[in-house]
Amino acid sequence: MYLTRDIEVGKDYLKSMYAAMETKRFGAIASSQANYLKSHKLDVSFNDRRSVHYPAWFNSPPSSGISCCDFTSVATEFECQGLELDMPLICWARDLLWNGTQWNHSGRTSVGIQDPRQLTLNAYRVLLTRGKDGFVIFLPNHTLAKTTYSILKRAGVQDIPSIAKQL
C-alpha cells in the first residue's frame, strides 16, 4: 500500500515497477465523483463512459495506445467492479475525507439515494480492493486532505519516495 501527493510520481512508480512485464496491468481508477482529474490530464468523461472500451482498457498490452497502462483514461467504481488490475493508481477524491474522528462524505445527492454515506464508503471499498499486488493512492495536495493523508499514513500506507529509493 503506497501513497503519493504527486500523480506523476505514482504513474512513474507503476511504469518502472512493471517496465519489463508485458502481462502486468496498472492504471488509474477513481470515484465517479473525482471530477478534478481533468487537471491531471486524465479522461474524466464520467457522463459519457462510452468513449472508453473497458474490456480493451483492462486487457490490451501496454503499448497498444488504449491500455489502462497509458494513464489516459480512468475507470470508476462502476467500470472496475468485479475486475482487477495488478496495481491500480487510486485517485482519491474530495467525496470521502477523514475529519479527525470519522469519514465525511459529499457529492452523491441524486434523487433516490437513501444512504449517500454508505454509497460513498462502498465506492471506496470497491476501489481499494481492485489491486492484486497492492495499490498506490494519489491524494491531491489540498488543505482538505491533510487529515485523510495522516490517517492513511497511520494505517500503514507508505509514501512512494521512501520506497522508490529501494528499487
The residue ranges of every structural domain in the chain are 2-161
Q: What are the pLDDT digits (tens) for 56-97?
A: 999 999 988 889 999 988 899 988 988 999 999 999 988 899
pLDDT at 164: 53
The cell for 4 is: 503519493
41, 11 contact by CB (below 8 A): no
> What letter would DSSP give residue 133?
S
Q: What are the pLDDT digits (tens) for 27-61?
A: 999 988 887 777 777 766 655 555 678 889 999 99
d(CA 110, CA 50): 21
Phi, psi of 104 (to 5 degrees): -90, 140
d(CA 7, CA 136): 10
* % of the chain exceeding 70 in pLDDT: 87
Kindly calculate the radius of gyration of the chain based on its CA atoms and give it in whole angstroms: 15
Average pLDDT over every residue of 90-106? 90
The cell for 57 is: 482498457
pLDDT at 7: 92
Is residue 111 predicted with pLDDT exceeding 80? no
Beta strands in the chain (DSSP E): 2-4, 26-30, 74-76, 87-91, 96-98, 103-105, 136-138, 158-159
Q: Report how far Cα 61 is from the mean position of its chain's Cα atoms.
A: 20
- pTM score of the predicted model: 0.89
